A and B are shown apart, each in its own frame.
Chain A
């Protein structure tokens, strides 16, 4: 077994070590679970806030500019600064601080893409729906939102991938999921195996969630597959 030999004979601080993974599987899995939970919560909450905002911006043209500008400003503010704004009020030992900062950060991508998706609903379709007697809400729920699904999902995918990367910043207050592994490894005598394990899992989680959401998108928009796009 070459792998076994390599870690036994390797230098004191290898970039990767199965022994580290085996000995710390509990910690690693806990960090991964925390990371995934924080990401899922943040994306879900951001979607809950972003969708109504996008619909408002879609219905009332005069609100489009301010809503996009506000989410743009929130996006420009550094993640660490958002954490700094939230933490003194919510508490530095509270994972909710990280969660709120993540939600604020994910808003822009979701609002912008949902709005783009809604804007791509063809005028004829909207008129046809109105002609069939759909009211404002009926049309939104039965016609416009389903047709905007690709745009909405693009926003959710972008937000998810960047949220996974951003959760690591929470390591500053000890709620960073895999970021705790990365940062902990750095502070613990630059333990390379721990840093790289955290990093690899982080990227893998982002890719896995992205693929998952892409698959969900295919399921939700069967018409896009049939059309020769």
Chain B
């Protein structure tokens, strides 16, 4: 690394070196890891949170639990779960990282699924009852479709948060784009300043990209008459 120029110039130089992209452990490798970890974590979070949230919303109970889980989720440092989980039976490697991230995806997914079902118009529910739908049919054919915009909103929040938080996997050498920043800090500011900044830019760009794409998805999944009310 050359010392010349400010951190921005160094970052540009670093990003313009093709080897930094294609080397083993380069940007492309790290990007793949980052996306794989994030996707698995979000999928796992959905698998756990959506059924529970929909069911709680369907029965109308457990609102307190949902709020409690959201608040506790906010208070637990990601760093703590990332360092604690590998020391349990899970062992080192990718599984503990994925699970730690999934834990933080659960609160928004759960809360939105719960709210989505609770917000279904009681008259629609009554009408469905009147038509002779069983509780299970009511959930599947009425409540679930009407909750889709909320599910999409929760998915977007959770996914963006997981993509952002996956950066912290670098603390436990868990892979992902955060490794670039972590390695830069390891080099110190003089040699690694550009790399730190470049890594930060990549991660930020990825998070904003995911946010933008999912915002479009959310919009397309929300029926037109509902769009303005949510904004």
**Which residues on A are within 8 Å of B, measured CB to CB?**
73, 76-85, 87-89, 91-92, 158, 161-162, 164-166, 168-169, 171-173, 176, 179, 182-183, 185-186, 190, 192, 195-196, 198-199, 202-203, 206-207, 210
B83 touches A185 (CB 8 A): yes
* Residue with the highest number of chain B CB atoms closer than 10 Å, among A164, A171, A199: A199
The distance from the CB of B20 to the nearest CB of chain A, in whole angstroms, is 15
B71 touches A161 (CB 8 A): yes
* Residue with the highest number of chain A CB atoms closer than 10 Å, among B71, B87, B168, B170: B87
Q: How far is the CA of A214 from the CA of B146 in the complex (A)?
A: 35
> Interface on chain A toward B: helix, strand, loop, or mixed SS?
helix
A165 touches B77 (CB 8 A): yes
B167 touches A182 (CB 8 A): no
**B33 touches A (CB below 8 Å):** no
**B109 touches A (CB below 8 Å):** no
Kindly identify which residue among A162, A171, A173 contacts B79, using a CB–CB cutoff of 8 Å. A171
User: What A residues does B66 contact at CB under 8 A?
Assistant: none
Which A residue's beta carbon lies closest to that of B84? A195
Q: Which of B152-177 contact A (CB under 8 A)?
A: 160, 163-165, 167-168, 170-172
The distance from the CB of B205 to the nearest CB of chain A, in whole angstroms, is 9
B75 touches A183 (CB 8 A): no
Number of interface residues of B (CB under 8 A): 41
**B40 touches A (CB below 8 Å):** no
**B181 touches A (CB below 8 Å):** yes
**B203 touches A (CB below 8 Å):** yes
A162 touches B74 (CB 8 A): yes
- Report, nearest first, the 6 A-B pairs whose CB atoms are least far apart: A84-B200, A88-B7, A78-B164, A81-B200, A199-B80, A206-B75
User: What B residues does A92 contact at CB under 8 A?
Assistant: 185, 188-189
The distance from the CB of A135 to the nearest CB of chain B, in whole angstroms, is 32
A78 touches B196 (CB 8 A): no
**B178 touches A (CB below 8 Å):** yes
The distance from the CB of B162 to the nearest CB of chain A, in whole angstroms, is 10
Which B residue's beta carbon lies closest to that of A198? B80
User: What B residues does A199 contact at CB under 8 A?
Assistant: 76-77, 80, 84
B75 touches A77 (CB 8 A): no
**B36 touches A (CB below 8 Å):** no
A80 touches B208 (CB 8 A): no
**B197 touches A (CB below 8 Å):** yes
The distance from the CB of A42 to the nearest CB of chain B, in whole angstroms, is 15
Which B residue's beta carbon lies closest to that of A166? B77
Which B residue's beta carbon lies closest to that of A185? B83
User: What B residues does A176 contact at CB under 8 A?
Assistant: 79
